[in-house]
Each structure stands twice: as C-alpha cells, then as structure tokens.
Chains A and B, each alone.
Chain A
Amino acid sequence: MGKKKIWSFLLLMLVALSVVLAACASDDASESNTEKENEGTTEEDTGSTAAEDKVLVFGRGGDSVSLDPAAVTDGESFKVTQNVFETLLNFGKQDTTINEGLATKWEPSEDGLTYTFTLREGVKFHDGTDFNAEAVVKNFERWANGSEDKFPYYASMFGGFVGDESHVIESVTADGDYTVVFKLKRAQAPFLKNIAMSPFGIASPTAFEASGDKFGDNPVGTGPFKFVEWKRNDSVTVEKFADYWNVGYPKLDKIIFRAIPDNSTRLNSLLTNEIDLADGINPSDAATVEGDSNLQLFERPSMNVGYLGLTTTRPPFDNVKVRQAINYAIDKQSIVDAFFEGRAEIAKNPMPPSISGYNEDIPGYEYDPEKAKQLLAEAGLADGFEMELWAMPVPRPYMPDGAKVAEVIQKNLEDIGVKATIVSFEWATYLEKARNGEADAFMLGWTGDNGDADNFIYVLLDGDNIGSNNYTYYDNQDLHKILIAAQTEVDEDKRNELYKQAQEIIFEDAPWVPLAHSTPLLAGKADIVDFLPHPTGSDKLTNVDFK
C-alpha cells in the first residue's frame, strides 16, 4: 500500500507539472501567434497601436519611501516625485544650472536678502486647483511649520523651521496672483539651487489640506504625470496629465516604476522585455548592453563620491597619522580599473570635480604602502593592528559592488600589516550603526542633490552634521568657520576660495579615504529617445518618447 501511495502521489505531481508546462507552452504559442498576426497586418496598424498607449516601465533598485517629496531624502522617492511635482526653478537638462520652472522670472535683491519670483500662468494642479502665488505661500508655510520628522530636507537646506534661530527664510508672501516674495534673515548663497531641489516640489494646497499626513500616499502636483496607484514594494504607476501646461508634453502615456533590488535581475528583466529602462547597471554588464542592438547604454553625468570613512573618535583612527597611513595604503587606481571598469575618476577630494569650488591643486594620497608603514610606525603601530572594515550590502550608484571593493581594501591593508575583518549588515541597520559611530571604517558615498559644494562638504564633514550625515564624527572648528562663512558668501569667487581652503584642511586631516567619482550607468531599449539622465539621480521624463 505504501508504495502504491507513493506512486500515485508521484503520478499526481507529474500530471500537475505537465499541466503547468502545457499552460506555459500555450502562452508562448499564443504570444508568437499574435506577433505573427502583427507582422501580417499593415504597418499603419502597428503604428497606431503604439501611438495609442506608450507605456514606459522603469526598473529601479528600490521602492519609494513616500510620494510626498518634502517628507523624504532618498533618491528612489525623488525619481517618482520629480515627474508628479514641479519646483519653482528647474536644474538644467543634465547639469545643475538654474532654469525656469513654475517660476518664469526670479530677481534677487542687491543684498541677497529678498528674492522675487514671477510665476507661470495657466498652470493647474492634477485635482483642478489653480496654481498661483497663494499655493506657493501655503506650501512654504506647511514646510516651515513642520518638524525634523516630517520635512527633514527642509530643515537641512533652510536651517531649521519657524522659530529656530538658524532658520533662513523670514517670510514668504504673495504679491498679487503671480508674484511671490521671499525675505531671508541672512544671505544664503545656494538659495536658488535649494529652491530647485526635488523635495521642494509645489503640491496642491487643496489636496494636502484635505489628506493631511496621508498626502504621501496620494500626491497631487502640477507635473507632467499624475499619480495612479502605488503597490508597495512593487510598483508606482503614473499617467499622462491631460491638462499639463506645456502643451504637447509629456510624450509618454504612462510610466510604471518597478522596484527590482538586484542589479543582475533588473538587467535580466530588461533583456526579457519586462521593463524598458533599467537604473543601476553593473559596470561589468556595460559590455553586454553595448553589444546588444536592442539596447542602449546611458551614462549619468557624475556628481557623486564613494569613500571609506574612518571614524575619527575610535582609536587608532583618532590619530591623524593612522588615517593618513590608510590613505596611502589603498590602491585606488586598481579599484577603479577593476570594479568600476574604468567608468569612474579617482577621488582626491570629498566632492566631484564638476562642482564649482573643487580644489584641483590637492595632490591626493598616492598608492605608497611603504609610506603607509612608515606612518604607522610613527604612530607607534609598527606591528599593525586589527580593525573592522564595513562594506555596504547593496550596490549603490557611487559603489557598484561594495563587498568586492572591501576585499581589495582588506588585501591592501594586510600588506601594511593591518588585519581587517569585513563586516556587513542589512542596509538600514548598516546606516544606523555607522551613523552611531559603531564602525572603525565604513564604506559609503553621496550623490549631490543640488550641485553645490555646501551639499557635499558641509553636509558630510561639518561638526554640525554629526549624528545626521557626518558618520566619521570629524569635527574641526577651523573647517566649521570656513564652511559657515561660505554659506553666506554671495560672491562666487570668494566662496570658491573658501571651499578650496576647506578641502586643504580635509586633505590634511584625512577623515576619509576618498575612492572614486563614478559614472552611474543605465540601460534602456534602443527605441527610447530623449532620455537624459540627470546627475542628481532624479530624472524628468517629460520629453522621453519611443521612436
């Protein structure tokens, strides 16, 4: 009986399997049939079906955190909101110059304390509300009366909230229907760039007053696409906004943002036609994409830095000689050649060369293990020491394969007598622990959000940002004074001079080993046109079309 049972069970499984296989086979067959039918019909027909429904499926590394751009700081969220919301000013197509957005004119006063914006007329929010000066004022009032939890980016860009002494914006007032006047407490050099950042997309006051905290689930802006639905951890769908002010745009009818965490899986989805555009292509896969006539490779202009942070409060990294030794020990050229496949520049400063104020004269630490050993000996650690080397568990635009780069660094350190154990955690835990200063040395990186030096050096290395984005706990008062002076300095040349000084101090103190400024890669179908990846990582897909 027992044997009979087993056999009948196996037979059942076999039948089930064959049913499944048969179903798959018939699927394939019907697909190929329809393809053939299409081929048989006239070209006009296929042309019209394509014109009827242009859907772009955009595969990306993670899901959105919220669809209210002001509530988040992560790049994945901005990828969607950039197309649903618009900001008063826009960045250039592939740079961070200031261009008109919802405002068509902007005039700073002589002293840099008053900015007058003239707004675009005839713009409507997706819910039918008119876009006007009052709407802009309401948006800024909403943010300014928020808290660090609700609107974190507002606080770091405009120095806090209403009532805070460091809050930069004194008032935002409407002057008639289409003029908004900003009054500042003190001059802020990157003010216009800040205004152009994705988090400050103007939302429909009717919608956010009605939905309150739930606004992030049902965003309403003026952008080219309006929100349709959000399946958590899977996809966000947006569709063409028919009343978009820029007549004739957007070209696409629908965009589906799909979250596919693994880089290789995402590329496979592209190869199997499940998606049309894939973010985060491994440098090692670039050749595959370039060799495929159905695909095209996009390079995102570089505006990032990948680095190894050395927690300056943890011995022996509290000794500047040890930090310099580590800098000399690491062979950046080999790392860039091997794991970025040459699609990166070796870093010597904490910000990329494309940003104004970059100090070209910094020599950088060349690869010199002997000098590293000598510095270790001077620090009294001639026999080396043991340390933890934290490697990020996920591929990032600035670091395609953290674990492998860590293995090269581990070997480099071994060569100077330092025994490093590679440690990794789940990404959120990794960030939290590193932020708490629990790592000896940790790999991390940063993609600029507004193309300003302040957004790199102050945010990542100033004592003010310990506990937020300064994970190394590096705190130098001279540097702090320079960075604060640079924030209020309106003269571009003087300001650049200050940032150059700042980079000299950072070079000497060596809180980081700057590794690389990478060129992140994307891949898409060959028939995608007018897709221009933006250096900030948030792409406006208004002009994108299929051939």
Chain B
Amino acid sequence: MTQMVPNSTNEIMVKKDTSTGPWLDAWRSFRKNKVALVGAGIVLFFLLLAILGPFIAPQGINDQSLKDRLLPPSSQYWFGTDDFGRDIFSRIIHGARISLWVGFSSVIGSVVVGSILGIIAGYYGKWIDTIISRIFDIMLAFPSILLAIAVVSVLGPSLQNALIAIAIINIPNFGRLIRSKVLSIKEEEYITSAKAIGMKDLRILFSHILPNSMAPVIVAGTLAIASAIIEAAALGFLGLGAQAPAPEWGKMLADARVVLRNAPWAMIFPGIAIMLTVLGFNLMGDGLRDALDPRMKN
C-alpha cells in the first residue's frame, strides 16, 4: 500500500471517487450491462405483478363462467379465456405470485441449508467433510426433476411440498459452492490472524468466512431461481405441484394441453410468462456474475 500511494497521484484520486466498497463497484459494473438491466427490469416487473396482482387483476383466480369458455383474446379478455371461462390474463397475474414465491423461497431454503452444510464441511474438514460431500454426491447423481418427483410422491402433491422438494434438490449445488469457497478463504491470512487472536470458530465463520463467500452464492442463487421456477412449473404440469384451482403457470399449461387445437392462447400465454420470468432471472444472473466475479474484472 505504501508503495502505491507515491506511485501515482491519479490512482489516489480515482480511488477516492470509487472506493466505497465492493458492492458499489459491482453495482456500477452491473449498471453498465444493458442486457442485465433488461433482465432486472423483467424481474422487477414480475415482482410488482406478484405484489400488486390482486389489485390489478380484473378477475379472481377461479371466477368460472362456463358460457364464456375458450374465447380468443379480446378487449374484455386480453389473453382469452380457458376451459372454465376464466380470464387467463388475471390468472397469469395471480400466478406470478405463486411462481416467484416458489422461486425465491425454495432458493432461500436451499441457500440457508446448503450454506450451513457447506461451511461445516469446508471449515472443519476431515470426516464431517467426507460425510457431507458424499451425501451431496449421492443427491447430485439423480436427475434433479426425478429426485423432486420422488420427494413429492413421498410428501403428497401440493405447492408446499413441491417447494420443499425443489429446495432439497438444490441444496448440494449451494453446499458444494460454499464448501469450495470456504476451503480457499480459511487459508487466508486474516483468518489465521483471527484465529491467532483467539476468535471463536463461530464468529470467524459468520463474520469473516460467510460474508466473503456470498458473492458466488448470489449469482448461483439468481440463476437457481430461474430453474426453480421451471421445476415448479414442471411439477405443476405433472399434477404434482399446485393443485386446482391455483393459477400456477405449469398447471395452466397442462390444463390447456387438451384444447391446444382449438384454443392455443390458453397455452401460449402461460408459456410466455414462464419463459419471460426465467429469461429475466437468467439475464440478471449473468449480469451479476460479471459484476461480482473478480476474475471477470479488468
């Protein structure tokens, strides 16, 4: 450090402007990334839908009117109606809440459990590491959707259980990520010095190691929300997720399958909704990776 200051006065000036922390740095780099901003915009849009849904939607989730079934999109029904004469537009708006709720909460669940297991495995090593890592390996050996179906079959089909299943199948991904990060961080000098001054393990773990290993988790988490939404839709499609009359997008697709020939809109719009949300999270996740990963910086 002492070397750098006299080296160039310019650098000091630049530093003064920018050095308000790595998070702000990340934000600056993220802001420059147009594609990522579009992704974030989409995510924000669906978040607003999820929060304000009941106030915006012209109809409730189950306002059946069998006389008006399978009507094409019109000024009254923007996205047409489904087999029960329900407004697809309203149901998609209500469905945003379900999909985002499943996406966020399942990922939060797997991040929390995965982080704890990953930290324990990475920090303590030895036999604990072996056991936890092998369990992760076993879980990763199954195709994730198969594992989710197995979990739901045991717990019984419902949105709640689909959420738990998706959380469970994502645990090893985060666990391994954190573990590898912890392995490298625990060799850092500041950890050694923390140990040297007699800091307790728990404090080292939660105030030093955990915050420093969060960046990749945020990136992986954002991308995982996208896949969690797809998995929830897949389970819903198979009848293992949200149950009728919940306007879950995957279930809407499954319901519309039979009438695909006569009423393609019943399938197209929920499909677009799923695609857009997933695209939003993926773009945002990519942008975050560029912003947070030090290796990506020049």
Interfacial residues, chain A to chain B (CB-CB below 8 A): 263-264, 282, 284-285, 287-288, 331, 334-335, 337-339, 401, 403-404, 406-408, 410-411, 414, 421-422, 424
Contact = CB atoms under 8 A, between A and B. Distances in A.
Contact of B258 (A264, A408, A414, A422): A264
Contacts of B258: 263-264, 282, 284, 401, 404
A424 B262 CA distance: 26
B23 interface: no
Given A284-B262, A401-B258, A337 B66 contact: yes
Given A404-B83, A404-B84, A407-B84, A288 B243 contact: no
A408 B66 CA distance: 9
A421 B84 contact: no
27 contacts: A263-B258, A264-B257, A264-B258, A264-B260, A284-B258, A284-B261, A284-B262, A285-B261, A288-B261, A331-B66, A334-B66, A335-B66, A338-B69, A338-B83, A338-B84, A401-B258, A403-B239, A404-B83, A407-B84, A407-B244, A408-B64, A408-B66, A410-B244, A410-B245, A411-B245, A414-B62, A424-B239
A424 B261 CA distance: 26
Interface of B: 62, 64, 66-67, 69, 83-85, 239, 243-245, 255, 257-262
Given A264-B260, A288-B261, A411-B64, A421 B69 contact: no
A284 B259 contact: yes
Interface of B is mostly: loop
A422 B243 contact: yes
Which 5 residue pairs are nearest across A and B when measured between Cβ atoms?
Answer: A334-B66, A338-B66, A407-B244, A411-B64, A422-B244
Contacts of B257: 264
A408 B257 CA distance: 18
B243 A421 contact: yes
Contacts of B84: 338, 404, 407-408, 411
Interface of A is mostly: helix
Nearest to A412: B64
A338 B81 CA distance: 13
A337 B83 CA distance: 11
Contacts of B260: 264
* Centre residue among B69, B255, B261 by max chain A CB count within 10 A: B261
Contacts of B245: 407, 410-411
B63 to A, nearest CB: 9
B244 to A, nearest CB: 5
A410 B64 CA distance: 11
A262 B257 CA distance: 11
Contacts of A334: 66-67
A287 B259 CA distance: 12
Contacts of B66: 331, 334-335, 337-338, 408
B120 to A, nearest CB: 31
A403 B83 contact: no
A515 B84 CA distance: 17
A404 B64 contact: no
Contacts of A421: 243
A403 B244 contact: yes
A272 to B, nearest CB: 14
